[in-house]
Structure 1
Amino acid sequence: MSTTLETATAARSGKGARDENFPVASHLIHPRHRGAILSFYDFVRAGDDVADHTGLSPERKLELLDGLADALTGAGPADPEAAPLKAELAARGLPPLHALELLDAFRMDARKTRYADWDELIHYCRYSAMPVGRYVLDVHGEDPARVWAASDAICAALQIVNHLQDCGKDFRDLDRVYVPQDALERHGASVAMLGEAKATPQLRAVIRELAERTLTLLDAGAVLPDLIDDLRLSLEIAAIHRLAVVLCRGLLERDPLSEKVHHGKAAFALTALGGITSTLARRPFRGRTVRAQRAGARP
């Protein structure tokens, strides 16, 4: 089926910030920054909904994504999906780079449905996930040289956790497979196994391998809360990091095709609180961590 939609708004799925696996501008974030983050989220969600729309051709998806980009930069007509973020960027003197990079990821989604190896997947995350963390850090005025690398690791990990949790749904609904082909081949698994009601032992082995690699990314990013100047943002990221670690460990044991991997509300709150508490306990000693990071040593 092919449908002509005139604007990105018509492609909206209805999904919002509260439907995400991880907090989006929770009340830990200072009110003066929440609007900038939520406008970014809404713009990105509009682009993501275009890329995931099953009634649009790849060519039409690219046209709508280009329209969002032009509206954001002023190169084309205004768009209600871009206007709030455009205003926030202008007010803060920030460039549209991070949002435009996310649109590049959605263009990939419109044209690409398979990934050969881990490096290809990380390249996708460079555009689909890392700009999110970079934007939030820039909004808070954090030093990119100090925080971007750790943020990139966490953001890539969050993206891959989402991919693994949704691997069956992505395959069934979109014929999109983020699980690298070489990992499937190493364990004797196939793409078709993603369409089953329950993962085979071979596919479970693939998911465990990818979850272990993702835990390595989370380990690399664990230092980020201690590098951030803004306390409230530090606590938000600490909560997200802890939630991601728990989800990733869950993927080592549970089958995302047949079992729930997502947090329940109570577990979500307790896990996030654990991350916040441990970060607060370390806060008096963060100067040592920052100095070690500047010296290029592992804190």
Structure 2
Amino acid sequence: MSTATELRSGKGHTDENFPVAKFIQKRHRGPILAFYRFVRAADDVADHPTLLPDQKLVLLDSLDAALTGNGPPDEEAEPLRHALAERGLTPRHARDLLDAFRLDAKKSRYADFSELMAYCSLSAMPVGRFVLDVHGEDPQRTWPASDAICAALQILNHLQDCGKDYTGIDRVYIPAEIFENHDARIEDLGAPKATPQLKAAIADLAVRTEKLLEEGRTLPDLVRDIRLAAELSAIYKLAQTLIRGLQHRDPLSEKVHFSKVGFAATALTAVTGTMIRRAFSRSSAPAKQGAL
């Protein structure tokens, strides 16, 4: 059987729909990129079009064992294992993601929105929690908003790639209840253009996702690290723009991803707004009294 490294898709952190360690401090990038590399390798295993489910599970288990030191070293796991040890961080978040990829190896349909959110609790929320942990942010203060944003980002990615996921790996993340509510068919995802019923189903999930995104709106103002706040603001603004577009556009036949120029302009606007807001907040705070 091939190794996880041999099955890599070639996709890197600069190819993602949203920034990965774009604005954060240099000293935090190493652990985050090690986490990304590990997760990307595991994701490529789970999404491989020719591997059987049992083969995927064996490879995912070997990555898990390598990460926790319970099995032979793996070149995809070693950088993260060392980064976790250096920072005194838990492998919990990476292992939650492995559980999501184990689900992907066996499960291809979701019944309702709550089932999809349960999947997001493994496939998306741990990513934000890990980034916050690396920065030493307060979990009680930041995790709830982060969880909401990360789940929204995950569903947004599912919607953008719904046709490709169906035709390429026969996986559908739009819940069955939403198809039923709009008299849409799963098979419609394989067409070159969405039917009115499928467009209505996509718009429905996009509206729910926008509400989820709104739950995390305050996250950039909750974190202490200003560069992390800038990155979160960029991600939020990009997601907000895309999710509103998906309420009206057809991801099967229309472009719903940002161009490089559009990506940069939207992110810059969000980052600038955050910097100004944080600077104004600091300047307007009452001065601390000196010792008497």
SS in 2 for 1:9: coil
In 2, Cα distance between equivalents of 1:156 and 1:281 = 28
Normalised by the size of structure 2, how large is the TM-score? 0.95
Shift of residue 203, structure 1, vs aligned partner:
0.4
Partner of 1:15: 11
Letter in 1 for 2:277: R
Query: Is residue 24 of structure 1 aligned with residue 13 of structure 2?
Result: no
Partner of 1:292: none
CA contact (8 A) 1:226 1:282 kept: no
Normalised by the size of structure 1, how large is the TM-score? 0.93
Partner of 2:62: 67
Shift of residue 273, structure 1, vs aligned partner:
1.3
- Give the direction of change, closer, same or farther, for the CA distance of 1:9–1:212 in structure 2 (3 Å limit): same
In 2, Cα distance between equivalents of 1:190 and 1:68 = 37
CA contact (8 A) 1:150 1:223 kept: yes
Query: Is residue 147 of structure 1 aligned with residue 142 of structure 2?
Result: yes
CA RMSD of aligned residues (A): 1.0
Partner of 1:182: 177
In 2, Cα distance between equivalents of 1:266 and 1:257 = 22
Q: How many residues align?
A: 282
In 2, Cα distance between equivalents of 1:279 and 1:67 = 42
Shift of residue 281, structure 1, vs aligned partner:
2.7
Query: Is residue 207 of structure 1 aligned with residue 202 of structure 2?
Result: yes
Partner of 1:43: 38
Of all paired residues, the percent bearing the same amino acid is 63
Partner of 2:289: none
The correspondence for 1:128, drawn from 123, 143, 151, is 123
CA contact (8 A) 1:98 1:134 kept: yes
Q: Which blocks of at least 5 consecutive residues in structure 2 are unaligned?
A: 283-292
SS in 1 for 2:121: helix
SS in 1 for 2:6: helix
Partner of 1:164: 159
Shift of residue 285, structure 1, vs aligned partner:
6.4
Query: Is residue 102 of structure 1 aligned with residue 97 of structure 2?
Result: yes
In 2, Cα distance between equivalents of 1:208 and 1:286 = 37
Deviations 1:105-141 (CA, angstroms, capped at 9, x unpaired): 0000000000000001111110000000000000000
CA contact (8 A) 1:47 1:65 kept: yes
